[in-house]
Structure 1
């Protein structure tokens, strides 16, 4: 057992990212049943919808699972209450100060993990009392750190500063990527894009098909004035780029973004007008697969890479 399998009481040190519009109870329970840690993505759920997904997840798996909670949402108090009421044992927090909720959750016996994009924030999370951190590099899909530090440089920098377990995220979809992250100091990995393109993902099939056809260079980080986000270069993305040429104000960007654009793209399947969040690693994802097969392929690839590494000579 390593630090992450021990912390969560799971078979493999693989955590499924709690992605908005992708991570319902079907995906979370499938990942947990296959030996990883599934996370329900609270970011795209009204409080009562989240409660329903937690209850369904408890029926779908007897294995540990958690909830990912971005702390920038206005109904955060209600969401935290539901997590406690429903007996959720693991919470991943992001997009906010870990001090705000960590002690509250820990007092309820909940294991807390915080997502960071720099060693400075990793230290703050450790000081706040979290049980582990996810260090997410610039390659990741969705909302991203302003520092634009890649996973390969971020991991050893964070490892140097903290004593608690470290989970790597950003650009990991294979067993080889997992081994590389662990050699750089990670105790486990968080995988997003690869699970977004799974049978059990709650994303629209149009979006899943787009992930497997998005090539190297098909995504880019944008909207840094609001909150940096990595998007597929579709019609909406091109509209954002065209607006940038006019030196827009923050209000101009907010107006273009509008409401529910991520839902329109990832959940409803509008590939033109939707906000399509996916990581750079999509260029290495070639088919939509069941979760169990994804995890087994990762473990097999990890073991093969380990054997190859053992035979390296200089």
Structure 2
């Protein structure tokens, strides 16, 4: 399966394992890369020295390409970027910030840069900044999300119409059928997050993985839009947020309730009551926890079956 994405990243299949905070450590990234897709380490939950350790362990665990996802609101961003370059990582996905901030600096050092966006407007800004590809992420996605609330089904063809560089679809994709649908709509590849949370190699707490598997339709909701929109499984913390909204809270009120380390408490430490449990709407289609290699095999088999089924329609 060869196209602009497999060529850009030197991978076998046009699938990217999303770099998610508290879920995407070196084990997940290396297992993904070893399966023929692009693995990403999620730097958003790592101190600089921790990120360096994960990069070094990933290099020992795979000889295939892998990258690092960097939210640009990171407080130690300069140190993080320098570590990435020093360790010889050649692929960086940036998010949550202005792509002009680091794209030129990274590309001057031989790094392939991809930026994550949630709208046509920001996709165009990323292209103007010189990125090599764009991830367009729909409203269905887990974790922090765009304020536009554009669904993947509408976002991808609109971005494709405006964009000249390779396009990666994200948000609500966990199956081969979803992958085929995204590519029919104009994507050159897909980024998959939630499905890999429920993998054996994910660094998420087992209790969180089990909660993802238990999730049904309607189990998640986007909230905290005044801070940074985030899609969460509905638990006690989510209910506390919903109750606070009844009193027309200020931004400071929301910050006080959120506090610190909610995401770590939920996803990494397994506190299913007081933690942030970030996952996409597609969790309703995730029914088991599997090794990454099996997840990739399943997606590819589903993709080819769906393609044959579509061909039979005509």
TM-score between both structures, scaled by the size of structure 2 = 0.99
Aligned to 1:230: 231
Runs of 4+ in 1 over 6 A off after TM superposition: none
SS in 2 for 1:140: coil
- In the alignment, does 2:138 pair up with 1:167? no
Aligned to 1:130: 131
> Unaligned 5+ residue runs, structure 1?
none
For 2:312 and 2:304, the matched residues in 1 are separated by: 13
For 2:74 and 2:132, the matched residues in 1 are separated by: 23
> Unaligned 5+ residue runs, structure 2?
none
Aligned to 1:60: 61
- In the alignment, does 2:168 pair up with 1:182? no
- In the alignment, does 2:75 pair up with 1:78? no
Residue 73 of structure 1 and its aligned partner are, at CA, apart by 1.2
After superposition, residues 227-306 of structure 1 pair within 5 angstroms as: 227-306=228-307
Residue 233 of structure 1 and its aligned partner are, at CA, apart by 0.3
For 1:124 and 1:309, the matched residues in 2 are separated by: 35
CA shift digits 1:116-144 (9 cap, x unpaired): 00011000000000000000000000000
Aligned to 1:158: 159
Residue 203 of structure 1 and its aligned partner are, at CA, apart by 0.3
Aligned to 1:219: 220
Aligned to 1:142: 143
- In the alignment, does 2:107 pair up with 1:106? yes
TM-score between both structures, scaled by the size of structure 1 = 0.99
Residue 168 of structure 1 and its aligned partner are, at CA, apart by 0.2
Residue 74 of structure 1 and its aligned partner are, at CA, apart by 1.2
For 2:74 and 2:252, the matched residues in 1 are separated by: 19
Residue 102 of structure 1 and its aligned partner are, at CA, apart by 0.1
For 2:303 and 2:13, the matched residues in 1 are separated by: 11
Q: CA RMSD in A?
A: 0.4
Residue 258 of structure 1 and its aligned partner are, at CA, apart by 0.3
For 1:18 and 1:258, the matched residues in 2 are separated by: 23
SS in 1 for 2:275: coil
CA shift digits 1:199-255 (9 cap, x unpaired): 000000000000000000000000000000000000000000000001100000000
For 1:25 and 1:224, the matched residues in 2 are separated by: 31
In the alignment of these two chains, the number of paired residues is 313
SS in 2 for 1:113: strand
Aligned to 1:95: 96
